[in-house]
Amino acid sequence: MRISRALFRMSATPAAVVRTPERAEELRTSLAEIRARVQQAASANASANRQPTLVAVSKYKPASDILECYEDGQRNFGENYVQELVDKAAQLPADIRWHFIGTFQTNKSKILASIPNLYAVQTVGSVKGADALSKQLTTRTTPLNVLLQVNTSGEGAKSGLPPLTSSPAPEDAELVQLARHIVSSCPHLHLQGLMTIGSLTESLHVTVKPNEDFEKLKQTRDLLEEALAAEKGKWGEDGRLLLSMGMSSDFEAALRTGSDIVRVGTGIFGSRPKKEEVKSAAS
């Protein structure tokens, strides 16, 4: 017991694979609960015609936690930090679908592109970034899925492009230009959808009121699809751009608004250390 606790402490850098029956049970229970809530909320949205994807956000959590979820059938995992993702991908099963959901920096394109089972980059926000990524992906046999990050809440601290609000969407809107650029000029990227974080004002309460940031992303999606109508077939899944929205505190509201991809961390893995704590533990 003492040994495993010591190893867990070390695993702030998520290298050590330490598995205990207690942790396995804890993860199975929370994963089952989140899955049930995802199903329930998705079935409340009559217009949903596809199963939502649950991305388990495993940042700062050890590879052993990911493996427990994997063995329980979970395949989609999300990570925020490039080096952490690279390290984990190297030691975990090759059929995991990794979603990069952290701030995307152009100079990290090469290392991101080197992960063979990287499934999607959800945080693309510039032509420069898209070009850099596409250029690094020449050895992949399938294009990499990308989602464009939209700053629906307008908060300065959040990345992403402004949402679209008027029909037809202005041709010079950054989001329209970036989407067109990817579809026409980035052969190694597949424009899969839009992602947002949104404001977390309702985060501590379960609420039935649809989050207005989620509505904004949905409207933005509809307007962008209209703008890209001539290129239909070259983007999205089954003719639709997917919406990645909803986290532990608000994924049910997001699903009721029509989210296709929810990103849940704390709800599955429990609370995380703060970024600063991880840094000081590693130094």
Positions touching ligand PLP (CB under 6 A) are 57, 59, 80, 101, 197, 247-249, 263-267
Q: Which is nearer to ligand PLP, 113 or 197 (CB)?
A: 197
Residue reference for tokens 């599955």: 268
Min CB(122)–ligand PLP separation in Å: 7
Residue nearest to ligand PLP (CB): 265
Q: Are 59 and 14 in contact (CB under 8 A)?
A: no
- What span, in angstroms and rounded, lies between the C-alpha atoms of 8 and 201? 33
Q: How far is CA 265 from the centre of its chain?
A: 10
Closest CB 139 distance from ligand PLP, rounded Å: 28
Nearer Cβ to ligand PLP (204/208): 204
Distance of closest approach, residue 61 Cβ to ligand PLP, in angstroms = 10
125 versus 265: smaller Cβ distance to ligand PLP: 265
- Of 228 and 244, CB closest to ligand PLP: 244
Nearer to ligand PLP, 4 or 199 (CB): 199
Please give the backbone phi and psi of residue 5, each rounded to the nearest 5 degrees, phi first. Answer: -65, -40
Rounded to the nearest whole angstrom, what is the least distance from the CB of residue 64 to ligand PLP in the complex?
18
* Nearest C-alpha neighbor of 103 from the set 159, 51, 169: 159
Largest CA distance in the chain: 63
CA distance linking residue 262 with residue 256, whole number of Å: 11
Please, what is the minimum distance in Å from the beta carbon of residue 229 to ligand PLP? Answer: 29
Per the rule left: phi > 0, alpha: psi between -120 and 50, beta: everything else, 104 is: beta
Q: How far is the CB of 184 from ligand PLP (least distance, A)?
A: 28
DSSP 246-275: --TTTHHHHHHHT-SEEEESHHHH-----H
C-beta of 219 vs 249, nearer to ligand PLP: 249
How far is it, in rounded angstroms, from Cα 107 to Cα 90? 21
Of 177 and 249, CB closest to ligand PLP: 249
Q: Please, what is the minimum distance in Å from the beta carbon of residue 266 to ligand PLP?
A: 3
Among candidate residues 86, 85, 89, 131, the one with its CA nearest the CA of residue 106: 131
